[in-house]
Structure 1
Amino acid sequence: MRRDDSVTNPDASSGRPRTGHPDVLVFLTDQQRWDTTGTHGNPHGLTPVLDRLAARGLDVDRSFTCQPVCAPSRAALQTGRYPTDTGVFRNALPLPPGTRTLAHHFGAAGYETGYIGKWHLAGDEHTGPVPEELRGGYDHWLAANLLEFTSDAYQTTLYDRDGAPHTYDGYRADALGEAALEWIRRERERPFFLFLSFLEPHHQNSRDDYPAPHGYRERYADPWTPSDLTALGGGNAPEHLAGYYGMVRRLDEVLGRIVDALDERGTLDETVILFTSDHGCHFKTRNDEYKRSVHDASVRVPTVLHGPGFHGAGRLPELVSHVDLPPTLLDAAGLPVPARMQGRSLLPLLRGGAEPPWPEEVLIQVSESEVGRALRTGRWKYGAVAPGADPWHDASAGHYTDAYLYDLHADPDELTNLVGEPALADVLDGLRARLADRIAASGEPRPLIGPAAGQRGH
């Protein structure tokens, strides 16, 4: 329900009149596994600030990207729509000009909107500066389209609204955090919506490395290794996990500075904070790079919400998709959720139930490595691929065949593919039908889904 926009009480610390709408901050990391956090059992204490926010707010225990690659997942987070519906079904595709984003919805409600960091929604022809028509409607702009190519761990270049470069020394995550703090601390008469987008803990593309701050890799020289990486072997986790953990630790420190700044202003508990990541990381154990697979290592991410509507909400058991987060932010800010959004706000779940009932699965789209679709339920991971489809040029397909089936209760690390087991034929039939339903609901034509050629049990 829309709240009244009239001024209510003054903010004593900033002198800014407060309205019925809270400030809103998105803290987006890149390629961060869910199990890097203390709330999900990581023993290294990498995320004490995030863990405190989760304890005080809402810990979305089972949160999943709807596409495990940068641009498509970011398009979903900006729009609340599936990547194929936005047109950004793979990297290197721009978000079409005129697409309604969170910036448009918050801006129309009187918010001052800002974007800082990595954008990755302007196509590959724009590396640094982003033309105005491809910025998603944000007012304040300090970003690079492909931050991985305009920066390194200790050298960062961002571009303002005029396309002018701003170069920062120091560690990259610190630079983005300081830019955000400068903007947050400004005197303003309107509430703000800030989308802060980091590159960490994504690898540095130019040298396929995970460059932690000086001394941080050494802190985790004997790292705890998630069980899927241990069981699968191969990959490059032994080489890179220490640096990856160091990057995660520094991100949490930056989050702590922002939380402290909001606390100092007296607005922390009045600010909606969303922490999430665009996708996970399997360290080259599932294919020849880091994501682009249906496995939880690629698709499961940490997600925490804190602030009005989320205080004391605890741990959410339902499965949540990235497309659910934009409507949740609008709802938490007291703004209407556009019918065009394909996700649903989480807030009704916290108020005692959602009507209609919350879905029992999330839909995952896969591009670039394969034209694939998958369902992640509480027990099953089912994935299908389109035989003969071109994963770079084909957004979808009319025919898919079985490719993956994991019993997550018995096999949480997804080590044994059961797709050809005759005893599970009925399970497969049900999952095929559910997947076809979800594909159709996402806006694609309903496909045919069946067994692969020569599949056992058929």
Structure 2
Amino acid sequence: MAAEPVDHPNVIVVFTDQQRWDTTGVHGNPLDLTPEFDRLARAGTHAAQAFTPNPVCAPARASIQTGQYGTANGCHRNALKLPGEARTLAHHFGDAGYSTGYIGKWHLADTEPVPPEQRGGYDSWLGANVLEFTSDAYKTVVFDEDSTPVMLPGYRSDALFDAAIRFVGDHSGVGDGTRRQPFYLFLSVIEPHHQNEIDAYPAPEGYAERYDGRWMPPDLAALSAEGGTAHQHMGGYCGQVRRVDEGLGRLLDALRSLDLLDDTIVAVTSDHGCHFKTRNSEYKRSCHDASIRVPMALRGPGFEHGRRIDRPVSTIDLPPTLLDAAGLTVPDEMQGRSFLPLVRDPAAAWRDEVLVQVSESEVGRALRTPRWTYYVAAPEAHPWDDPGADRYVETALYDTVNDPHQLVNLAGLSSHRPVADELRARLTARMVDVGEREPEIEPAAPVATSPQRQVDPYIHTAGLKPERLGHQPPRGPADAR
């Protein structure tokens, strides 16, 4: 017997893998790679300054399931299973009467196929723990609720979107005259992630050729001369992004045809970005926007009318936001915050910074504000074994307003010492706020600066108060020079 209907919106999360924020048209990409995402962002809500809590697959995924940082939920790096006691979005929506489903890459288990007790509480299951190892571009192998392998036909992202459309159809109530309980679906595609065994970005036939040599992000254009794979892989990467966007369009069309579009919240984002081996020896795990900044847009109840959020938000804020928008209680253990108040009022109170934990390449912590990227690393910590450290050293400071491609590291410059000191205090407070021990953060080694290079305390946008830097703010127009 079907459950009694519940008066809450359906919720779908579309989660891509390793997608840079600047692949989208709403962020100025000239190739028209994401017309469906762009339309969704313009008609719904565009989180224009969205960041990951950790630029590594598993920690980012654990955070978007639990609303907690990796140091709190037990998944600070890859190859760690999500603890059995962890409460995910599936648990919270399921407790409220939702049908819950997961499709695609999971990466939060310790074996393949993922056993039922490691599936995060999802009722319907069609996934693989590490999808890039069980499949390739045209051979998609996932496992169902009985851990039976299922081969899905077509290009991989198409196959997963097809499965999502079937899930929506099966849970729509169309055909039986009833309105079933609302559903929550998490769709996790792997594109535009590289195919590991060939270290390439296999796009559908003909798609890479459309984009080869046509566009290069400015940061990669500047850094590729020193190495990296951007020129080799950008065509395939862009082709993958385009095909995923086409799948998003088909999913939205399915919702429209089933008369569910206006009753369904659709959120689209990614786990982290991609710097194509320009910042370190692989594709992510760095403090730069190429690694940590992601696309994010939502549509549906609560997110209509073309709104834009220009304050920094994190994908760790998405779980409480979705629960809040669905009219459900946000659990106290979630460390993210609902940004629904920002959707309703751009001037709402909000902490203008996000905390990013970096693992595996090194143990690091970053604070990203509207203007600054401040980063510290722990030289004595083991990057694989240690979730955190007691001692960090300032490693990077970028002025992302005046150096948007993060090419000039200002760490140690005497001209920026007051800014770094304030950001160090803010980072320390944020780390303690999410349950980490209060660390020692050593200043970067001093670097001599030209006396002409100064930071004006009156016009910077880091959120620092001039009087805290030893200055008095101007008292009137005559003093403002």
Q: TM-score, normalised by structure 2?
A: 0.89
Secondary structure of residue in 2 paired with 1:44: coil
Which letter does structure 2 place at the counterpart of 1:153?
Answer: A
Deviation at 1:98, TM superposition (A): 1.9
* SS of aligned partner of 1:115: strand
CA distance in 2, matches of 1:110, 1:301: 31
**Counterpart check, 1:102 vs 2:95:** no
The Cα shift of 1:354 comes to 7.6
Q: How far did residue 96 of structure 1 move?
A: 0.4
Q: For 1:368-387, list aligned pairs within 5 A.
A: 368-387=360-379
Greater mean alpha carbon deviation, residues 218-227 or residues 189-198: 218-227
Q: Give the deviation of 1:417 after TM superposition.
A: 0.5
1:91 aligns with one of 69, 78, 84: 78
The corresponding residue for 1:286 is 279
Instruction: Kindly state the Cα deviation for residue 351 of structure 1 after the two structures are TM-superposed.
Output: 2.4
Helix, strand or coil for the counterpart of 1:312? coil
Distance 2:346 2:209 in 1: 46
CA distance in 2, matches of 1:24, 1:150: 27
Report if the CA contact (8 A) 1:313-1:350 is conserved.
no
Amino acid at match of 2:194: H
Show the counterpart of 2:30: 43
> 1:143-172 CA deviation, whole Å, 9 max, x = no partner?
000001000000010001111000123210
Does 1:146 pair with 2:138?
Answer: no
Structure 1 stretch displaced more, 60-69 or 222-231: 222-231
Q: Distance in 1 between matches of 2:256 and 2:236?
A: 30
User: Does the 8 A contact of 1:27 with 1:197 survive in 2?
Assistant: yes
CA contact (8 A) 1:292 1:368 kept: yes
Q: Deviations over 1:30-61 (max 9, x none)?
A: 00000001111111111111111111100000
Q: Which digits, 9 at most, give the CA deviation of each residue in 1:278-316, with x for residues without a partner?
A: 000000000000000000000000000100000014211
Pairwise CA RMSD: 1.5
Look up the equivalent residue of 2:38 and give its one-letter code.
Answer: D
In the alignment, what sits opposite 1:208? Answer: 199
Runs of 4 or more off by more than 4 Å in structure 1?
15-18
How many pairs are equivalent?
439
Shift of 1:221: 2.0
Structure 2 partner of 1:61: 48
SS in 1 for 2:308: strand
1:122, distance to aligned residue in structure 2 (A) = 0.4
Residues 400, 449 of structure 1: 8 Å contact kept: yes
2:64 equivalent in structure 1: 77
Alignment check: 8 A CA contact 1:371 1:385 kept: yes
Match of 1:336 in 2: 329
> What residue number does 1:180 align with?
164
Which runs of no fewer than 5 residues in structure 2 stay unpaired?
Answer: 174-179, 450-481
Which of 251, 254, 279 does residue 247 from structure 2 map onto? 254
Higher mean C-alpha displacement, 419-428 vs 253-262: 419-428
Q: 1: CA distance between counterparts of 2:294 and 2:266?
A: 16
Aligned to 2:477: none
Of 323, 336, 356, 2:316 maps to 323
Task: Report the structure number with the largest CA radius of gyration.
Answer: 2
- 1:381 touches 1:408 (CA, 8 Å); kept in 2? yes
Equivalent-residue separation in structure 1 for 2:448 and 2:362 (angstroms): 24
Deviation at 1:457, TM superposition (A): 6.0
The 2-side partners of 1:353 and 1:419 are apart by: 32
Structure 1 pair 440/122, CA: closer, same or farther in 2 (3 Å)? same
1:357-399: CA deviation from partner (whole Å, max 9, x where unpaired): 2111100000011100010011111000011110000000011
State the alpha-carbon separation in 2 of the partners of residues 281 and 439 from structure 1: 25
Counterparts of 1:291-370 in structure 2, within 5 Å, are 291-352=284-345, 357-370=349-362
Is residue 376 of structure 2 the alignment partner of residue 399 of structure 1? no
Question: By how many angstroms is 1:352 displaced?
Answer: 2.6
Partner Cα separation in structure 2 for residue 347 and residue 410 of structure 1: 30
Q: Contact conserved, 2:308 with 2:343, CA < 8 A, in 1? A: no
* Deviation of the 1:353 alpha carbon: 6.1
Shift of residue 424 of structure 1? 1.1
Q: Deviations over 1:50-83 (max 9, x none)?
A: 1111111000000000100000000000011111
Question: Which of 258, 268, 275 in structure 1 is aligned with 2:261?
Answer: 268
CA–CA separation in structure 2 for the residues paired with 1:36 and 1:350 = 23
Deviations 1:86-122 (A, max 9, x none): 1100000110012100000000000000000000000
Contact 1:49 / 1:256 at 8 angstroms: preserved in 2? yes
Identity %: 59
What residue is the counterpart of 1:3 in the other structure?
none
CA shift, 1:456, in A, is 3.1
TM-score, length-normalised on structure 1? 0.94
Asked if residue 190 in structure 1 is aligned to residue 174 in structure 2, the reply is no
User: Is contact 2:45–2:343 with CA below 8 Å preserved after alignment?
Assistant: no
Structure 2 match to 1:230? 221
Deviation at 1:18, TM superposition (A): 5.9
From 235, 238, 246, give the equivalent of 1:242: 235
Q: Name the CA distance, whole Å, in 1 between partners of 2:35 and 2:361.
A: 35
- Corresponding residue for residue 31 of structure 1: 18
Separation (CA, whole Å) in 1 of partners of 2:10 and 2:122? 15
CA distance in 2, matches of 1:40, 1:437: 31
Q: Cα distance 1:16–1:55, how it changes in 2: closer, same or farther (>3 A)?
A: farther
Inter-partner Cα distance in structure 1 for 2:230 and 2:393? 31
Q: Structure 1 residues 52-61 or 310-319, which shifts more?
A: 310-319
Deviation at 1:19, TM superposition (A): 3.7
Cα distance between partner residues in 2 of 1:300 and 1:236? 19
Cα deviation digits, residues 231-271 of structure 1 (max 9, x gap): 11221110000000000000011001100000001111210
SS in 1 for 2:48: strand
The answer for the alignment partner of 1:165 in structure 2 is: 149
CA distance in 2 between counterparts of 1:100 and 1:376 reads 27
Q: Is the 8 A contact 1:22 1:333 kept in 2?
A: yes
User: What is the CA-CA distance between 1:420 and the residue it aligns to?
Assistant: 1.4
Q: Mean Cα displacement is larger for which, 292-301 or 175-184?
A: 175-184
